[in-house]
Chain A
Amino acid sequence: MISGQGGGATAPPARAQNAAAVPGLRRRSRLIDRASRHVLLAGAGINVVVVALVVIFLLSRAWPTISNIGLGHFFGSAKWAPDEGLGFGIGSFGALAPIFGSFAVVTLGLLIAVPFALAVAVFVTETNPIVGERFIRPAVEVFVGIPSVVYGYLGFIALLPLLHNFAPPGRQGSGILAAGIVLAIMVIPTIATISADGLLSVPGALREGSAALGATQWQTIRRVLLPAARPSIVSGIVLGFARAMGEALAVALVIGDVNVIPNFAKEGLGALLEPFTTMTVTITDGVDKLAINPDGTAARYMLAVVLLVVTFLAIIMVRLVTRGRRGSRA
């Protein structure tokens, strides 16, 4: 507010002139201020509404799974043949294989990705920041932008012939291992960039304190920095998990898409090279049958609901971990 705080002899006339101009300005700017707040609230609210509508839509379309097919059959049986006869109620809708496949592939992918991603993050921030920030980090960030189908196709062309040599006879090399490797390559940039940001935001006082106590660089990294950056690392891992869970095309090209659970008991680790399927691949398979197979469509929507619930749980877990950490430090 521009009210004159004393001044010279010129102050009263100027203030009188201003008194005419300023109330109008004040009213207008207050209105604009209120209006902008409402507009921004509306914009943010639309996001929430859209997400809520998506959830409601999925649940309503997946409802026949509960009423016609039964959740026990859906989660308990591994026999998935929804398009038998392209008709009603003839097929089987046991979704155990896709659900198990998704978790298996993502777990293997994260197991491979996390060590490499952390190595990249630590190198870029601690070991050699000059080379790291100028070369490694831009390279890693370029990887984030590559479309997933490119990874899938490269896996199909280059990775499968390699794995084929280790696969049982008559197998192409596609399976959980191939999909896990492809997902790991896709997810490393995500985890690495978020972890690097977390490591950078650790206060310098911690580093200096650790050096003052006589710790070597590796001891500092291992015992001070990584635990301090744990919220960022965990959130990076969970974001990578969510991305890997939702990946359809890259996985579809290298997993073989056969709805039979590999027999780990019989084949041991060789079962990683048996063709398998995931929830995302099973959903995309049936896209052209939507019009004609209501039960199969409902079962696929149910798979989408399962994916949604898993991702929500992962994100809630991130919020709990980061909030807990921040709270305890404060």
Chain B
Amino acid sequence: MAASECGLRRVIRAARSERRRHGACMQLRILAVPALAGLALVACGSTDNNSTNSPSGGAATASASPTAAACATGTITASGSTALQPLVQKAAQLYQAKCTGATITVSGGGSSTGLSNVASGTSDIGNSDVPVSNAKAVDPTTVKDHQVAVVVFAVIVNPGAGVTNLTTQQIQDVFSGKVTNWKSVGGKDVPVTLIERKPGSGTRLSFDKDMMGGTAEAANPASTQDSTQLVLTGVGGASAPGGVSYVAAGSADSTVVKVSIDGVSATGDAVKAGTYKLFSHEHMYTKTAASPLADAFINYILSSEFQTTQVSTLGYLPVATTSEQSAADQ
């Protein structure tokens, strides 16, 4: 027992001295943290001061690229359409590289989310595939529309269907479910596998307004998808030899056939000439009184530098392609 008591005393003494040594080190370490934090804050504070002291640029002229004088500063957020998101993200990346005082955050969430965010003030810019008249909850007088690009849609079919051209009436019959075999419209004897977009999708809304003209899409398709990649895999794959759907023309790959409508194929020139009707404009909405950075950013997207070099590589057409509004834009 004496031995164990001795041992216990030794353990306690060792623990106490350990704590004291450890405690001293701990105190030094604890002092270091606020010191570093203080240094960091001072450093950040000085850069903040610099950016707020520089004059914020007004809205640049529509055709000029942002020079140093036209660069606006501040922080804005853009949200909404996932179809438009790649274009806005690329523009934000380039703009922030040229204008270091600007911070632009881009997120998705869908066209409806974008519209409601810009109306409520949660986002400075709302990206949308469809005009604001489609969102009943948003007051159109409080927001301002900027059309930034043209997106062309194409009807795609599986090569096994054997069609390369369809009339508007035939497309309406196929998508409403009246035509169930491709041989009725001049193709091979293959049943139609209809792949629709999910109800509420901006692409579906545009297609319905541009092409279906009041006829509803079939209530019982083979499946509904929203991701462009899944639509392409579904239409072009082995599980749907008669697959048909619609996508943005720039996304269609070689596994599917882009159908020409009334003899006109999906090209920018056809849209410009007014012979191809299946297109719509991409919108970026701001409040009627927008922040200078939001205006400057949208002007940068509308500038000829961005429109001619970046827009087409991202799968869209420059907004200057056509001044006509499609049925989907009404």
With beta carbons under 8 angstroms apart, the residue of A25, A83, A260, A288 that contacts B199 is: A83
In the bound complex, what is the Cα–Cα distance between A286 and B224 (angstroms)? 13
0/1 per residue, A1-24, Cβ < 8 Å to B?
Answer: 010111110110011011001100
For the A-B complex with A4-B5, A169-B180, A291-B116 known, give 12 more contacts whose Cβ atoms are closer than 8 Å: A2-B4, A5-B1, A7-B1, A8-B2, A14-B5, A86-B136, A164-B239, A164-B240, A174-B239, A257-B224, A258-B220, A292-B138
The interface residues of chain B lying within 8 Å CB-to-CB of A286 are: 200
0/1 per residue, B147-183, Cβ < 8 Å to A?
Answer: 0000000000000000000000000000000001100
The interface residues of chain B lying within 8 Å CB-to-CB of A291 are: 112-113, 116-117
With beta carbons under 8 angstroms apart, the residue of B113, B180, B223, B243 that contacts A275 is: B223
The interface residues of chain A lying within 8 Å CB-to-CB of B233 are: 156-157
The interface residues of chain B lying within 8 Å CB-to-CB of A285 are: 198
In the bound complex, what is the Cα–Cα distance between A224 and B160 (angstroms)? 57
The interface residues of chain B lying within 8 Å CB-to-CB of A290 are: 113
Q: In the bound complex, do residue A170 and residue B116 qualify as a contact, i.e. CB atoms below 8 Å apart?
A: no
With beta carbons under 8 angstroms apart, the residue of A14, A81, A172, A289 that contacts B240 is: A172
0/1 per residue, A281-299, Cβ < 8 Å to B?
Answer: 0000111111111000000
Q: In the bound complex, do residue B137 and residue A10 qualify as a contact, i.e. CB atoms below 8 Å apart?
A: no
The interface residues of chain A lying within 8 Å CB-to-CB of B8 are: 2, 18, 21-22
Which residues 191-227 in B have Cβ within 8 Å of A in the complex? 191-195, 198-200, 219-225
Known: A160-B239, A288-B110. A86 touches B135 (CB 8 A): yes
Q: In the bound complex, do residue A257 and residue B223 qualify as a contact, i.e. CB atoms below 8 Å apart?
A: yes
Among A85, A86, A157, A173, find the residue whose CB has the most chain B CB atoms closer than 10 A. Answer: A86
Query: Could you pull out 5 A-B pairs where Cβ atoms are within 8 angstroms?
Result: A87-B136, A170-B193, A172-B240, A291-B112, A292-B137
Q: In the bound complex, do residue A173 and residue B135 qualify as a contact, i.e. CB atoms below 8 Å apart?
A: no
Determine whether B318 belongs to the interface, using a CB cutoff of 8 Å to chain A: no
Instruction: Closest A residue to B225 by CB, please name it.
Output: A257
Q: In the complex, which range does the number of interface residues on chain B fall in? A: 35 or more
Determine whether B109 belongs to the interface, using a CB cutoff of 8 Å to chain A: yes
Across the A-B interface, how many residue pairs have beta carbons closer than 8 Å? 127
The interface residues of chain A lying within 8 Å CB-to-CB of B193 are: 170-172
0/1 per residue, A164-201, Cβ < 8 Å to B?
Answer: 10000111111000000000000000000000000000
Interface residues of A (CB under 8 A from B): 2, 4-8, 10-11, 14-15, 17-18, 21-22, 25, 81, 83-88, 156-157, 160-161, 163-164, 169-174, 253, 256-258, 260, 275, 285-293
With beta carbons under 8 angstroms apart, the residue of A4, A6, A85, A260 that contacts B219 is: A260
Determine whether B237 belongs to the interface, using a CB cutoff of 8 Å to chain A: yes
The interface residues of chain A lying within 8 Å CB-to-CB of B5 are: 2, 4, 14-15, 17-18
The interface residues of chain A lying within 8 Å CB-to-CB of B12 are: 21, 25
In the bound complex, what is the Cα–Cα distance between A67 and B111 (angstroms)? 28
Which residues 230-249 in B have Cβ within 8 Å of A in the complex? 230, 233-234, 237-240, 242-243
The interface residues of chain A lying within 8 Å CB-to-CB of B198 are: 257, 285
Question: 10 nearest interchain CB pairs?
Answer: A288-B110, A169-B191, A83-B200, A87-B136, A256-B223, A291-B116, A161-B238, A170-B191, A160-B239, A292-B112
With beta carbons under 8 angstroms apart, the residue of B109, B239, B242 that contacts A173 is: B239
The interface residues of chain B lying within 8 Å CB-to-CB of A15 are: 5
In the bound complex, what is the Cα–Cα distance between A209 and B141 (angstroms)? 84
Known: A156-B230, A260-B220, A289-B112. A81 touches B199 (CB 8 A): yes
In the bound complex, what is the Cα–Cα distance between A25 and B112 (angstroms)? 65
Q: In the bound complex, do residue B180 and residue A170 qualify as a contact, i.e. CB atoms below 8 Å apart?
A: yes
In the bound complex, what is the Cα–Cα distance between A260 and B198 (angstroms)? 13
Known: A172-B222, A258-B220, A258-B224. A11 touches B230 (CB 8 A): no
The interface residues of chain B lying within 8 Å CB-to-CB of A14 are: 1-2, 5-6
Instruction: Closest B residue to A5 by CB, please name it.
Output: B1
The interface residues of chain A lying within 8 Å CB-to-CB of B115 are: 292
In the bound complex, what is the Cα–Cα distance between A185 and B2 (angstroms)? 65
Determine whether B9 belongs to the interface, using a CB cutoff of 8 Å to chain A: yes
In the bound complex, what is the Cα–Cα distance between A85 and B138 (angstroms)? 13
Which residues 1-59 in B have Cβ within 8 Å of A in the complex? 1-2, 4-6, 8-9, 12
CB distance from B7 to the nearest CB of A (A): 10
With beta carbons under 8 angstroms apart, the residue of A11, A170, A293 that contacts B194 is: A170
In the bound complex, what is the Cα–Cα distance between A47 and B5 (angstroms)? 43
Instruction: Closest A residue to B238 by CB, please name it.
Output: A161
CB distance from A268 to the nearest CB of B (A): 18
CB distance from B78 to the nearest CB of A (A): 15
The interface residues of chain A lying within 8 Å CB-to-CB of B113 are: 288-292
Determine whether B134 belongs to the interface, using a CB cutoff of 8 Å to chain A: yes
CB distance from A272 to the nearest CB of B (A): 15
The interface residues of chain B lying within 8 Å CB-to-CB of A7 are: 1-2
In the bound complex, what is the Cα–Cα distance between A183 and B238 (angstroms)? 22
With beta carbons under 8 angstroms apart, the residue of A6, A18, A83, A169 that contacts B9 is: A18
The interface residues of chain A lying within 8 Å CB-to-CB of B112 are: 86, 288-289, 291-293
Q: In the bound complex, do residue A292 and residue B135 qualify as a contact, i.e. CB atoms below 8 Å apart?
A: yes
The interface residues of chain A lying within 8 Å CB-to-CB of B108 are: 288
Q: In the bound complex, do residue B191 and residue A88 qualify as a contact, i.e. CB atoms below 8 Å apart?
A: no
CB distance from A159 to the nearest CB of B (A): 9
CB distance from B129 to the nearest CB of A (A): 12
Instruction: Closest A residue to B177 by CB, please name it.
Output: A170
Instruction: Closest B residue to A9 by CB, please name it.
Output: B2
In the bound complex, what is the Cα–Cα distance between A281 and B240 (angstroms)? 22
CB distance from B66 to the nearest CB of A (A): 31
Q: In the bound complex, do residue B238 and residue A164 qualify as a contact, i.e. CB atoms below 8 Å apart?
A: yes
In the bound complex, what is the Cα–Cα distance between A160 and B2 (angstroms)? 79
0/1 per residue, B99-143, Cβ < 8 Å to A?
Answer: 000000000111111011100000000000000001111100000
The interface residues of chain B lying within 8 Å CB-to-CB of A4 are: 1-2, 5
